[in-house]
Amino acid sequence: MNDDCEPKSPSWVQRLSSLWSDNPSTEGHLQEFSEVLMRLRENQLLNDDTAAMMESLLHISETQVRDIMVPRGQMVVIEKDWSIEKIVAVILESGHSRYPVVDEAHERLHGILLSKDLLPLLSEKAQAQDCLNRIRPATIVPESKPLDAMLREFRINRNHMALVIDEYGNLSGLVTIEDVIEEIVGEIDDEHDKVADINILDNGDGSYQVKALTDIEEVNEALGLNLSNEDVDTIGGYILMQMERMPVVGETLTFDGWHITITKANQRRIISILMRPE
């Protein structure tokens, strides 16, 4: 028989496409899709990073804004009655490009202030009111909003930040387009991320910012600890072992005379922590 007449095995792209087109919302199809990705990775047809991103995309609709948002207590905000000098000082210290403008006394959200919008005012004798006139409307979303819908809204409205409210209408946090993208592609470091280049950063006040993937041996040596690495290799793994669950940003625990705060995490892993002696 002519080989050209024999049916050809479907390519991995065709196999994934057929699964995806045949109602991928069901749990069975998602599981089958994940198994195909695993086999492609094992056969080196997909590299680990690409497979991990595709796996993340499968579950992005299951993740909600509350799972990745920066909680209210860690937000850098600008008060509506601040002087322009104080506003500029906060911007220079934090290095962010966007800031929620709030009225804490009356629990009101006024909008978002972009750092670049202040540049024309710096060469003038601007007043605080001139600054407030440049506030842009804020996108308000509930904590329960799925990440795929959040990403779609960011793309359509061309916004990069949204303010998150709880079921009572109170400000509970903020989420950025970078937060959503990091859920898909992994952590994105920029020039303002303190732990971008080193594992353990001395903050100068007795505390340390530590990457969760830092080896326990390195943490022990740097901070004079004696944590066991018998069951886990990293400080993030050690924290997971202690808590027996995935923590959220802002959660704290103590061990060996140190107070630990989760400073960056997503639904799947801890990214960085703050360590301060008790």
Homologous superfamily of 67-185: CBS-domain (3.10.580.10)
Contacts of 95 (CB under 8 A, 6+ apart): 192
**Helices 12-21 and 27-42, axial angle in degrees (round to 10):** 170
Report the DSSP pairing between strands 139-142 and 70-71.
unpaired
Which residues in the chain are classed under CATH 3.30.465.10? 200-277
- CB burial readout 251-262, b (16+ within 10 A) else e: beeeeeebebbb
Max distance between CA atoms of the chain, in angstroms, equals 87
Report which listed range, 42-51, 80-89, 188-197, is most confident: 80-89
Between CA 90 and CA 97, with CA 92 as vertex, the angle to 5 degrees is 90
Tokens for 181, please give them.
């993208």
Dist CA 228 CA 246 (whole Å): 20
Q: Are 138 and 112 in contact (CB under 8 A)?
A: yes
C-alpha separations of 136 from 70, 98, 113, 164 in Å: 20, 10, 6, 16
pTM value is 0.59
Domain(s) of CATH 3.10.580.10: residues in the chain: 67-185
Please report where in the chains the tokens 């049916």 appear, as a residue.
Answer: 7
Confidence tier at 30 by pLDDT (50, 70, 90):
low
What tens digit of pLDDT does each residue of 175-201 get? 999 888 887 777 665 555 544 568 898
pLDDT tens digit string along 108-163? Answer: 888 999 988 887 777 666 555 667 778 899 999 999 999 989 989 998 988 899 99
pLDDT band at 82 (very low <50, low <70, confident <90, very high): confident
User: Is the torsion defined by CA of 181, 183, 189, 190 positive or negative?
Assistant: positive
Instruction: Give the Cβ contact number of residue 108 at 10 Å.
Output: 11
Asked if 139 contacts 127 with a C-beta cutoff of 8 angstroms, the reply is: no
Question: What CA–CA distance (Å, rounded) separates 134 from 138?
Answer: 12
Q: What is the mean pLDDT of residues 39-58?
A: 71
For residues 147 and 256, give the distance between their C-alpha atoms in angstroms, rounded to a whole number. 37
Which helix (H) or strand (E) segment is 248 a member of? none
Q: Given this model, what pLDDT does residue 126 score?
A: 58
Highest mean pLDDT among 6-10, 90-94, 98-102: 98-102
Instruction: Examine the pLDDT at 58 and tell me if it is beyond 90.
Output: no
Q: What pLDDT score does 118 carry?
A: 81
The CATH class of the 200-277 domain is alpha beta
Rounded to the nearest integer, the mean pLDDT of the chain is: 79
What share of the chain has pLDDT > 90, as a percent?
20
Model confidence at 9: pLDDT above 70? no
